Chain A
């Protein structure tokens, strides 16, 4: 009895900590005042002004565009890299895996500044292209790390068996290996997408000339105070993700049946 209560209470606490800030943020997106401290009445004005704010909408567009391109490109490169790594000799594999994890451990600011220095040294103008390249760069190691364990879980002889039975290497990859490692690839792509949407530091150093993502746009409003428009935007983004997750969950359930 007590045990059950404690368990419930613990779960409640965890979800409380996770979701209370989001709930407060969502509530204040309907606040009829610029303040995020005092409730002044209900309004939808902030949603309206959000959609008429060109700068925020443009930043949202760049954020989503960069995240989509970067996660797709990083997933493709990362998957093939993991595939290659898997069939390497073990000491070589170890060495390359170590090299792969350095960018993960490296502080973002070091990655950001070094990428910026590289782009400037190569005389590339900072902008959308450099930001996408930077995002692809820091996403690849995560994809490799999420695909590799799936390859290791796979029975070792499967590829050979497929080849023995007459499959071409490409066909074997497509029909035998790919379905086995698909969950790893999807996880990798999701991690890459989230990391890209989240990123501020690396984006800040590698973009320029009028291209900025949401985190940069929001941060730059700090001096004048962050407007509830941002609350409205965050609420909408949260709802979108929530709905997407629900749909995904439903679909996997149907597939399982």
Chain B
């Protein structure tokens, strides 16, 4: 008897759960973002201003987000992929075009971040954050000038530094050191990069992912190849770290806001993109996340001490040889192969 009662109760509970959110006519915007990559307090402000409610979910990698959107069964109205993923999604027709006339605050976006190769004319994406890949080092432990990828092949730093456990970023380091483009489709250049990486492997302490910050802080490693966002997080807490942008050039990355195919609330999505592109909202996000904004109005609000730092807003002429990743298409199998061969050595 008790059990039957429990079952009935359960069914009622479940039923009430599912009706609770669907029977109001309030617009609900499904936002799919990187974990911890927005100041969640702005959701409330957005709701107050527009009456649109935000339903928020997060992912850890571009590939995860891609799988979820590609497979269907979901209706995300907003997502924030990186540049190479945007290129891929445009090719596979997974994005809705964005009507820039509905986004007046698009004018706040710095021109240097508009019309980039992965989305010429910004038909599908609006810039959110950007950054670089470089070398962070502990100035207490390393005194030589660090300004080139060559230090990662230098015997005197053997087993003191880590590389990124990411195929394209690590191969990029070798290609750039050799003076080639990091988007090369030339097999000879790739083979040369592989040889360089194999040669370097005995010197590398580890190929690491997310725990790089802890390895640096605990002085397990004194130097590491990192994304600028990670560098900024470390340096703002421990000022004896410095971040160098190699003179051979490196990777410049972007995370842009897009509207995935299958979105139900395209108008509301435009409103949200416009909201995110506002100077004050951009500032709240940049302040919370600590990455570099693409927004001119936000730049005016940012702590002036950050401007000119290598890890946040570097001087433009330091970025001369920098490139943006392009989707290699089918050529990715060659990158896969080289990475596997390197890891297996």
Chain A residues proximal to chain B, CB less than 8 Å: 33-38, 53-55, 65, 69, 72-73, 76, 116-117, 119-120, 124-126, 128-130, 132, 204, 208-212, 216-217, 219-227
Contacts and interface: CB of A to CB of B under 8 A. Distances in A.
Nearest to A79: B3
A129 B18 contact: yes
Contacts, number: 106
A128 B74 CA distance: 12
A223 B210 CA distance: 6
Interface in B156-184: none
B10 A73 contact: yes
Interface in B199-234: 209-210, 213-215, 217-218, 229-230, 233
A10 to B, nearest CB: 31
Interface stretch (B56-64, B188-196, B244-252, B336-344): B56-64
A220 B32 CA distance: 11
A101 to B, nearest CB: 26
A34 B213 CA distance: 10
Contact of B10 (A69, A212, A222): A69
Contacts of B57: 208-212
Nearest to A123: B73
Nearest to A38: B217
Contacts of A33: 237
A37 B3 contact: no
Interface string B33-76: 01111001000000000000001111111001000100111111
Contacts of B28: 210
A35 B214 contact: yes
Interface of B: 3, 6-7, 10, 13-14, 17-18, 28, 30-31, 34-37, 40, 55-61, 64, 68, 71-76, 209-210, 213-215, 217-218, 229-230, 233, 237, 289
B34 A220 contact: yes
Contacts of A119: 73
A225 B210 CA distance: 6
Nearest to A210: B55
Given A222-B210, A224-B37, A128 B73 contact: no
The 10 A-B pairs at the shortest CB distance, nearest first, are namely A220-B35, A210-B55, A208-B74, A37-B218, A220-B58, A37-B214, A221-B35, A120-B73, A126-B73, A220-B60
B97 to A, nearest CB: 23
Contacts of B218: 35, 37-38
